[in-house]
Amino acid sequence: MTDPRRTFTDVRWFGELDSTNAWLLEAARSGIAEGTVVVADRQSAGRGRLGRRWESKPGSGLLVSLLFRPRIEAGDLFSVAALGTLAAREAVAAVAGVDARVKWPNDLVVDDVKLAGVLSETSGIGTDDLAVVVGIGINLSWPAPGPDATALNAVCLDTLAGRPIDGKALLEALLDAAEARRPMLDDASGRAGLIRELAGCTATIGRHVRVELPGETFFGTAVSMDEHGHLVVDLGGDRRVVTAADVVHLR
């Protein structure tokens, strides 16, 4: 049977890397093609947003990065990360039967506990040579219940599904979901559709939140996501548009 995938076909699986995002970003700068997918069993320096770390013991998570070369403006970059988040969400539903929600901007959570994180990084922004690496970490079998999991406020798919989940099957489902949405990046209505779809499964909207910015913290109610994926927060009349921050869901 021919592979129905056309974009995400070149999958490179490593035993260990510092970071799948770091590897793919470097390769992107050297001209590697859109659709290259990098997976690692373990990462020695897994990256989160804002210089944070992604923790994953060997073989305990799906650690994958996908390369996109979309022809988009910087203001539309959120749609690429949104595609990655939606693909991860669809994959955990398909393979593990888990209905995850999104914590803005790109975490997958179940009952406000983090199952997966997404980190999008770029090179060549503002040029004809834009490359966007979308890195996704999904907890498969770690953290086990215990201090680590509690400290991270993390959960894994095995626990949620009540059975072992196969990382390869999860990867296949994720790539299929990414492939199906890839054409949406090519026009404005498709990109808007990705943001709308993400907003529709974002648990942050409607929640009372604490927004943590460098040097400033404020409270409000998250009311919507704008067309760029920014979070609109109501402060009791005044509205603020949050572009990059940490948001904490409050009860």
The residues that touch ligand BT5, with contacts defined as CB under 6 A, are: 19-21, 43, 46-50, 52, 54-56, 63-65, 107, 114, 117-119, 135-137, 139, 152, 154
For the CB of residue 222, give the shortest distance to ligand BT5 in the complex, in Å: 16
Q: Which one, 12 or 192, has the nearer CB to ligand BT5? A: 12
Residue 6, SS3 per DSSP: coil
How far apart (Å, rounded) are the C-alpha atoms in residues 82 and 85?
5
Nearer CB in complex with ligand BT5: 65/202: 65
What minimum distance in Å lies between the beta carbon of 208 and ligand BT5? 20
Rounded distance between C-alpha atoms, residue 99 and residue 201, angstroms = 10
Pick the closer one to ligand BT5 by CB: 50 or 250: 50
Q: Which is nearer to ligand BT5, 112 or 190 (CB)?
A: 112
User: Shortest Cβ distance from residue 133 to ligand BT5 (Å)?
Assistant: 8
Cα(71)–Cα(153) distance, rounded to whole angstroms?
A: 37
* Cβ distance to ligand BT5 smaller for residue 51 or 162: 51
Residue showing the smallest CB distance to ligand BT5 in the complex = 117
Least distance to ligand BT5, CB of residue 212, Å = 12
CB of 155 to ligand BT5, least distance (A): 8
Q: Which residues contact 225 (CB under 8 A, 6 or more apart)?
A: 104, 195, 198, 199, 202, 205, 231, 232
**Closest distance between ligand BT5 and the C-beta of residue 249, in Å?**
13
Q: Which is nearer to ligand BT5, 70 or 135 (CB)?
A: 135
Amino acid occupying residue 197: E
Amino acid at 52: R
Report d(CA 82, CA 80) in Å as an integer: 5
Distance CA 95, CA 92 (A): 5
Cβ(234)–Cβ(221) under 8 Å?
A: yes
